[in-house]
Amino acid sequence: MINHIAKWFTASDFDDTVIRNGIRQTNITRSMVIASIAFLFSFAVINYLYININDSSALAIKWRKMVLLMNISMILLNFIFILTALYLYFYKKSNHILYIWLPYVILVELGIWGILGASIHQLISRSIVPFILMSFAASALLIRPITFFYYCVMVYVCFFFSISIYQSNPDYIALNRVLGFVTLALSYCFSIVFWNNGLLRFRQDRLIELQTRELKEANVSKDKFFSILSHDLKGPVASSLLLTELMDEDLMDEQERKEVTQLFRSSLENISRLINNVLLWANSQTGNISFNPVRVSLNELVEENIQLLRPMASHKKILLINHLKEDHLLFADPHMIHTIFRNLLANAIKFTHEHGTVEISAELLLDGTAHQWVKLTVSDNGIGMPVSFLNDLFRLDKKTIAIGTKDETGTGLGLILCKEFVEKHQGTLDVESTVGKGSRFMVTLPLAK
């Protein structure tokens, strides 16, 4: 209960940019409405009091003149406020200082008008109608409860002492002070209700916005998924069918048959990687991939994947160099680490020319805490990538599929999977690349304690 009440005052979600902008826009609109009503009210008061102004007692004439002067000032101020609010509303100057502070300026103006009006009325009446009107008009603005509380305290202190300036009857002074306090207390309660109702509405709008964004991303993912299946799977399958037809022909010699067999194997490997990555990605999106970190040897994982992809590298006469000397124990999910390193190593081989090199290295990192990390680097001297390509490398809504040095194709999902799996380990995946000189992929993973 106490925490719930405290949230009314702190309103931590007010710091959300969307909610804060929504409150500011609502306040500009309400400021414009309040200033317009106050303008019309003052205009009506002036017209009413100016008629037969001198056909009254000396005290009433003094009262009329003071009220007229006060409302003329309010007309000029409110006219300026209306024009300012209109300008800010139509030109959407959400970062302008007036956009932020205009509601508070109007709040102060209302307070001055209510205190002066109630004080001047004591010349001929015990009424504090202006103060009552001011209190409830001010509560319509969406002001943070703690700020409005300070405002009410300041206003009441001024009201408490000013009400006795033109009122000599101690009973009326005491009564007005009580009425003023009750009025402010009620307006403060209304202010809290308006504030929380406003936050509730903005939270709902924010939730709808986030859900809409998630739906758009889901649609993008779905479109990407079907694009991969329809385009990238169709090509390797068609190539495989064509190669099987060639292998059935009797016109090929032994050398040609070996080349066709190798191409057929390469095509099947592409299909296998495609299906594997698509299934892994689909499972990661539905949350069906469990994350089970254990103590695992980085050196063993690296060596296993080097042996797995050595035939692919040998076909292009690429040298795989393992610089890992010291054994590092990771606290990681072995299946995810296999997927990460297999994709990075396969990409490096794919985009490296014949007789090129792919190097694997690791270094310890200390972040100043009890946690330790290892940075695994896979570098090649291949074709590299332009900067514009790097910016979209890990985006699912951008097609960043490139052709390898032997016309190898890919799914575009491998690096996205790597990034998702690395982030599950609270690590990072970075890339550096220069066109014509090669690329470096750096993965930061947690060490076992």
pLDDT (tens digit per residue) in 218-265: 676 666 666 555 555 555 566 666 667 666 666 667 776 777 677 677
Work out the average pLDDT over 120-135: 92
Work out the average pLDDT over 395-414: 64
At a CB cut-off of 8 Å and minimum separation 6, what does 295 contact?
A: 329, 330, 331, 448
pLDDT digits (tens, 9 = 90+) for 304-343: 888 878 877 887 888 888 888 777 888 888 888 888 888 8
Angstrom CA distances, 42 to 49, 78, 229, stand at 11, 10, 71
Distance (Å, whole) CA 444 – CA 63: 78
Higher-pLDDT residue of 6, 162? 162
Phi and psi for 350 in degrees, rounded to 5?
Answer: -60, -40
Distance (Å, whole) CA 23 – CA 25: 5
At a CB cut-off of 8 Å and minimum separation 6, what does 432 contact?
A: 439, 440, 442
Chain-centroid distance of CA 73 in Å reads 44
Work out the average pLDDT over 168-174: 92
Check if the beta carbon of residue 431 is closer than 8 Å to that of residue 289. Answer: no
Phi and psi for 155 in degrees, rounded to 5?
Answer: -65, -45
Task: Name the H helices within 139-291.
Answer: 145-162, 170-227, 234-248, 254-286
Question: What is the predicted pLDDT for the residue at 377?
Answer: 92
Phi and psi for 440 in degrees, rounded to 5?
Answer: -130, 120
pLDDT digits (tens, 9 = 90+) for 20-75: 878 888 888 899 999 999 999 999 988 888 776 666 688 888 888 898 999 999 99
